[in-house]
Every structure is written in C-alpha cells, then in structure tokens.
Amino acid sequence: MILDGQKVAIHMAGELDKRIKILKDGGIIPGLAIVLGGSSRPAAMYGAFLKKKAESYGISATVIKKPDSVTEGELIEVIRSLNDNHAIHGILLLMPLPEGISSDNVVEAMDPYKDIDGLTAANRGRLAAGKPGFVPCTPRAVMAILEEYGIAVNGKKAVVLGRSNVVGLPVSLLLLQKHATVTICHSHTGDIAEISRTADILVSAVGKPGMVTADMVKRGAVVIDVGICRQNGKTVGDVETKEVAEKSSYITPVPGGVGAVTTSMMIQALVEAAEKRKNGGSHNE
Ligand code: NAP
C-alpha cells in the first residue's frame, strides 16, 4: 500500500487554516523568513517553493538571499536582525552555505524560539531530553505519515539508515519516544542488509539512489523513503520502489511521500511559533 504524503498534507491543511485564522483574528500574521546564503540552485528553488506554499496559507514570507561572497559574520548579522524583528516568527536557513562558512555557527545565532526546523543545539537537546521544543520538520513528517495510516510503532523494531542532525538522528529519537526498538545505521556500519532485514519499520535517509533493494527488506515491513535525489533527470529516493513495494506492506513514494508532508510541517511549526509568542513565548512545559 502506498503511503500518500499528499493525503496527509491535505488533512493537515484544514487544521492549519483554522489555527492561522485564530491568530489573524487576534491581529497576528505569522511571518516566515527564509535565508539563502549563496547561489545553490536547488536551495533557491526550494526557498521559492516554500515562500509560495506559505503565501497560499496567507502567511507573510520573505526570502533573504545573499551572494556566494557572503561572510559568516554577515550571515550571522542577518540571523540576529531576524531574531529582533517582531514580524518574523520563524527562520529557515537553507543549506548548503558557501564553502568556508560554518553552518553550526550560523545556526547557533538563531533564537531557539524562531528555529522552526529544530536545528539549534537548544532544540536538539530538548528533543533528546524529551522536552517540548522545535523538532526538525522531516522527521515529524515521517511520524505524521505513520500516524495518519494507523501504523503501530510501540514495540516494533525500527531501523533508520542515516544519522544526520536534520533527519536520521531526530527520527530515531521520535521512534524511540513512541517505544520502538531503534537501530541506527550509517556510513561506518558493516552489514547494513543484515540489520535492515530485521526491521518492521525501515526509514532510509541517506541520499543514495538504489540504496535499499528488496533483499534488504523483511516481507511485510513498512518502508519510509526520505531520500531525495536526482537521477537521469528524475527525482527519486533511496529505495528501489518497484521491487521493494512487492515485499513491503506499506511504502512511501518519491516524490509524493515524506517531502509532501515536510512543507506542511514547516507551516505547522511556524504557526506554533506564532502561538507560543502570543502565549508568552514558552514551550508550555
Ligand atoms: P546527510 O546529512 O548527507 O546524511 C546522510 C546520512 O547517510 C549520514 O548519516 C551518512 O552517514 C549516511 N550514509 C551515507 N552513505 C551511507 C551508506 N552507504 N550506508 C549507510 N549510511 C550512509 O543527508 P540528510 O540531510 O540527512 O538527508 C538524507 C536524504 O534525505 C537526502 O537525500 C536529502 O535530500 C533527503 N531529505 C529529504 C527531505 C524530505 O522532506 N523528504 C528533507 C531533508 C532531507 P555518516 O553520518 O556516517 O556520514
């Protein structure tokens, strides 16, 4: 069965519209700032797409674009001025940044209450500690898909391929919080197939087309493909979808799977940031 990300996104849209209306009725228009450091074409396209998506919800969205020659200090200044700007509730810093710039340093300049993609150490620490905070949008999209389709996580064996701060690690923590038994594989893992074949839920977040083949998947497993890669002019994921679909019980397509939900999660996080500010700025522990 195909796990349809568009369906999840449509389901979320109704609830988001209601929350945005309540904010607007209270005089608050959620404001999103998308920061592009450098001339990466995919990042620019993604930024434009996010702006359009935000505006389709009646959200004010600004793209701040800096040339390849931008310095780390200048980018940090951009982030600090957005921290001080009351019309901005959420900041998204798109990667990659120009060579020589430490993305960590730029990310850490962000006010954690505006860090809607959960990249700052403050928000990552809160996730690890099981406290409320902003969690990266893609891992939340994975969890939303599982929930929408009523797929049980409690007590299941989950294997995650990839351990990045933006996908692999946070999705592993979210699965763990839902009581899955989680194994994380990465580029230093020996026999990945041996481990992935034990998974009831297999999440691949590597970024390598053809990474997951049918022999790596247990019959009846749920397969979530987070990868987004370009191959022969097409967008594909990590998973050999056709052959794996014949063995799995559920599978996400690429495109139309996790990616379709990620953007809705970003809007949801922005709305949450605006609601938190309205309620005094805390994470309501
Ligand atoms: P990343 O930072 O490059 O991380 C890739 C991870 O894969 C790393 O942990 C790396 O291990 C691991 N890896 C690399 N080669 C491997 C191999 N041969 N076997 C096992 N693990 C291997 O990438 P990311 O930002 O997490 O993104 C991963 C993919 O998801 C990309 O295709 C990206 O475009 C996509 N993505 C999709 C969405 C969405 O909305 N659908 C959002 C974000 C990202 P090491 O840590 O050992 O290097």
Give DSSP secondary structure letters for 152-193: --TT-EEEEE---TTTHHHHHHHHHHTT-EEEEE-TT-S-HH
Residue with CA nearest ligand 1 atom 30: 227
Give the model's pLDDT for residue 278.
Answer: 84
Pocket test for ligand 1, best of 187, 188, 196 (most atoms within 8 A of CB): 187
Q: What is the pLDDT of residue 282?
A: 65
Tell me which residue of 68, 65, 33 sits closest to 50, measured CA to CA: 33
Query: In the numeric block, which tokens belong to residue 34?
Result: 């998308």
Report the residue among 164, 185, 262, 264 best suited for mutation to probe ligand 1: largest number of ligand atoms under 8 A from its CB: 164
Q: What is the pLDDT of residue 279?
A: 82
Report whether 146 contacts 222 (CB < 8 A): yes
Closest C-alpha residue for ligand 1 atom 40? 259
Cα of 28 from ligand 1 centre, angstroms = 36
CA-wise closest residue to 12 among 179, 140, 165, 157:
140
d(CA 40, CA 158): 34
231 lines ligand 1 (CB under 6 A): no
95 touches ligand 1 (CB under 6 Å):
no
37 lines ligand 1 (CB under 6 A): no
Q: State the pTM of this model.
A: 0.96
Structure-token pair, residue 281: 């700025």
Closest CA to 167 of 190, 147, 186: 186
Q: Which helix (H) or strand (E) holds 54?
A: helix 41-56
pLDDT tens digits, the chain, 285 residues: what are they?
999 999 999 999 999 999 999 999 999 999 999 999 999 999 999 999 999 999 999 999 999 999 999 999 999 999 999 999 999 999 999 999 999 999 999 999 999 999 999 999 999 999 999 999 999 999 999 999 999 999 999 999 999 999 999 999 999 999 999 999 999 999 999 999 999 999 999 999 999 999 999 999 999 999 999 999 999 999 999 999 999 999 999 999 999 999 999 999 999 999 999 999 888 866 655
Please report the pLDDT score of residue 192 as a whole number.
Answer: 98
Residue 76 near ligand 1, beta carbon < 6 Å? no
Q: Compute, in angstroms, the gap from residue 162 CA to the centroid of ligand 1.
A: 5
The one-letter amino acid at 127: L
- CB neighbour list of residue 261: distance below 8 Å, 6 or more residues apart: 5, 8, 9, 12, 141, 144, 145
Q: Is 151 in the pocket of ligand 1 (CB under 6 A)?
A: no
The answer to whether the CB of 259 is under 6 A from ligand 1 is yes
| CA neighbours closer than 13 Å in the CB half-sphere of residue 223 | 33
State if residue 206 touches ligand 1 by the CB under 6 angstroms criterion.
Answer: yes
For ligand 1, say whether the CB of 228 is within 6 Å of any of its atoms. yes
- The predicted structure's pLDDT at residue 277: 87
Return the ligand 1 atom nearest residue 229 CA.
32
At 44-74, the pLDDT tens digits run 999 999 999 999 999 999 999 999 999 999 9
